[in-house]
Amino acid sequence: MPADSETVTGYYRYTDIWFEWYKVIPDADDGAALKGILAHDSLVHPDHPLHVEGITGIQLYHGTFESGETRLLFSSAQVDYARYWLHAMKLTKTLLPMPYSDCLVLSSELKHITTHIYPDGGALRGAVKNLDKHNKRLKGSNPALLSRRHIFQRTRELVVAKSGTWCAIDFEGWERDHTIITEMGFSILRWDADGQPTRESGHWIIKEAEGYRNGTYVPDYRYAYNFGTSEKIPRSTFKSRVRELIEQLRAEGPLYLVFHDNSQDIKYMTSSTIDAPLDDLSYLLPDNAPTTGLFVVDTSDLFGALIGLSTGQRRSLEKTCRMLQIDTSFLHNAGNDAYYTLEAMIQMAQGEAVDEQREKRWPNHTPAGTIEVEFKPWEEDSDYSESENTGPNSRNTYAQRN
């Protein structure tokens, strides 16, 4: 393959490099040397020239295209270094040409790029097969689902980058008049100067809402906060307290507001009762870790991406936590809901990429030709009982969040 006269960096599909590159090398011995260095078991060896100090195996890349298709990639720097190393070690007679420029995938062509480490040859071989399987399942997927998957990956990248402050917020209102706010909860994730995560949570009860009690349609657990002491505050200072919290967190850098099904909570924040400073609120996550900005992250969308649901299909917070194996108690307390919402976000964001995480969490739950997880009724519904000829009764018995 002729070398390009102008250096352009990007990525090459793993399959192009492994299956095709060596075939077009003019000298058969040079082609054999190249094929040898690209063998699965060779790539993961600690003495391989592409080995990165401190890791076990080989570090490669996943690139996701706008279509949602994900491919295993070498960086162009890896490909370039491999051919120089072969020549320097006198394993090839000449410096091998780079692959054709038409094979190069530019960063601008990819929606996401993430690093992945494969500890052994078996894991590497399996990665190619698994990605191919997931790509076939994605063909013809709803664009809304692809959007959710992009949001999922972007959230993972921003959390891994330890970008800004993540604050989950939840409001509880009176069940007979949703304009009357009774409680607010928040839970915050950020990182200290050493890069270590810190958590902070709070729960505010509005004094004047004492007489507005729930219990008919949703449980009333306003005095069952699990993560500290609830604070009673007068309605006259509630607006300023919420505004001060947002402004304080924004002063530290980018702020990601985390909700579970954000529509009602955003309505509360923009209502005259609170009038939070959300003028520049964005529902689109940035491509790179920003230095400022205010962004929305919705855990119902993240979970929808994880189990393969398109927009319009959402699971309650209780079901989401149940499926993620996060133990909950006293849901519908605003402080508890905010804490569990942030915990759900962290659990998903710190896990594997969406398809790998789905298969790891729920093996053998995704039918062939689809990426939608199929749960048994008793796996998803805590109130499902054997007496109804269904399945075992399980943990939580709290009403689902609307």
Burial class (CB in 10 A: 0-12, 13-18, 19+), 3: middle
pLDDT of residue 103: 84
Q: How many domains does the chain have?
A: 2
- The amino acid occupying position 161 is A
Is residue 138 pLDDT above 90, yes or no? no
Domain identity same for 133 and 165: no
Distance CA 332, CA 214 (A): 10
CATH label of the domain that carries residue 311: 3.30.420.10
Instruction: Write the burial class of residue 140 (CB in 10 Å: 0-12 exposed, 13-18 middle, 19+ buried).
Output: exposed
Strands 58-65 and 110-118: antiparallel
Would you mind telling me the total number of residues written for the chain in this entry?
402
In a domain, 196, yes or no: yes
Residue 396: inside a domain, yes or no? Answer: no
What mean pLDDT value characterizes the chain?
Answer: 87
Percentages of the chain per state (helix, strand, coil), in multiples of 5: 40, 20, 45
Same domain? For 187 and 308 the reply is yes
For residue 147, tell me if it sits in a domain: no
pLDDT at 348: 97
Asked whether residue 260 is domain-assigned, the answer is yes
Q: Which of 134, 196, 242, 199 is nearest to 345 (CA)?
A: 199
Which amino acid appears at position 233 of this protein? I
- Helix boundaries (H) for 271-389: 299-307, 317-323, 334-349, 354-361, 377-380
Residue pLDDT, tens place only, 300-359: 999 999 999 876 678 999 999 999 999 999 999 999 999 999 999 999 999 999 999 999
pLDDT in the model for residue 325: 95
Does residue 150 fall inside a structural domain?
Answer: no
Q: Give me the pLDDT at residue 260, please.
A: 96
Integer Cα distance of 209 and 273 in angstroms: 13
The answer to the question of residue 231 being in a domain is: yes
Same domain assignment for residues 294 and 182: yes
What the block records as the tokens of 330 is: 């006293």
Residues 331 and 198 in one domain: yes
Are both 375 and 241 inside the same structural domain?
yes
State which of 139, 172, 192 marks the end of a domain. 139
User: In the prediction, which pLDDT does 391 show?
Assistant: 38
Q: In the β-sheet with 11-13, what is the strand arrangement from edge to edge?
A: 104-105, 11-13, 70-75, 58-65, 110-118
| 50 and 167 assigned to the same domain | no
Which DSSP string do the residues of 333-354 spell out, in sequence order? Answer: SHHHHHHHHHHHHHHHHTSS-H
Position 183 in a domain:
yes
Q: Mind listing the pLDDT tens digit for each residue in 68-114?
A: 788 899 999 999 999 999 999 999 999 999 888 778 998 888 877 87
Q: Is the pLDDT of residue 386 over 70?
A: no
Rounded Cα gap, residues 303 and 325, in angstroms: 13
pLDDT digit string, tens, across residues 3-32: 443 445 799 999 999 889 999 999 999 999
Q: Does 394 have pLDDT greater than 50? A: no
The SS3 call for residue 296 is strand
Residue 231 has pLDDT above 60, yes or no: yes
Q: Is the pLDDT of residue 226 over 90?
A: yes
Quote the pLDDT of residue 347. 97
pLDDT tens-digit series, residues 149-167: 889 999 999 999 999 999 9
Confidence of residue 373 (pLDDT cuts 50, 70, 90): very high
pLDDT exceeding 90 applies to what percent of the chain? Answer: 63
167 in the same domain as 65: no
Alpha helices in 99-196 (DSSP H): 121-138, 143-160
Asked whether residue 183 falls in the same domain as residue 321, the answer is yes
Task: Classify residue 22 by its DSSP letter.
Answer: G
CA distance 255 to 259: 13
252 three-state secondary structure: coil
Same domain as 92, residue 46: yes
Closest CA to 165 of 192, 138, 135: 192
Higher pLDDT pick, 198 / 285: 198
- pLDDT in the model for residue 392: 36
Cβ–Cβ contacts within 10 Å for residue 245, how many? 18
> Which amino acid, one-letter code, is at 98?
M
Of the three residues 106, 139, 172, the one that is the final residue of a domain is 139
In a domain, 78, yes or no: yes
Taking the C-alpha atoms of residue 59 and residue 277, their distance in angstroms, rounded to an integer, is 43
Q: What is the pLDDT of residues 265-288, one digit of tens each?
A: 999 998 888 999 888 888 888 878
How far apart, in whole angstroms, are the C-alpha atoms of residue 393 and residue 387? 9
Flag whether pLDDT at 402 surpasses 70.
no
Are 122 and 168 within one domain? no
3-state secondary structure of 76: helix
Tell me the CA distances in angstroms from 128 to 13, 193, 282, one per residue in order: 11, 38, 36
Spatial separation of the C-alpha atoms in residues 60 and 62, rounded to whole Å: 7
Same domain assignment for residues 113 and 220: no
Q: How confident is the model at residue 66 (pLDDT cuts 50, 70, 90)?
A: confident
Please tell me whether residues 124 and 164 are part of one structural domain: no
Lookup: tokens for 141: 């997927």
pLDDT at 400 over 80: no
In degrees, rounded to 5, the angle at the alpha carbon of residue 393 between the alpha carbons of residues 388 and 394 is 155
Give the phi and the psi of residue 121 in degrees, each rounded to 5. Answer: -60, -35
Query: Strand pairing partners for 173?
Result: 181
pLDDT at 50: 95
Residues sharing a CB contact under 8 Å with residue 368, sequence separation 6 or more, in sequence order: none
Please give the residue range of the domain that contains residue 60: 11-139
In this predicted structure, the answer to whether residue 387 has a pLDDT above a threshold of 60 is no
The predicted pLDDT at position 140 comes to 64
Is the CB of residue 355 less than 8 Å from the CB of residue 134? yes
Percent of residues, the chain, with pLDDT higher than 70 = 91
Local confidence band at 385 (pLDDT 50, 70, 90 cut-offs): low
- Given 139, 171, 186, the domain boundary residue is 139
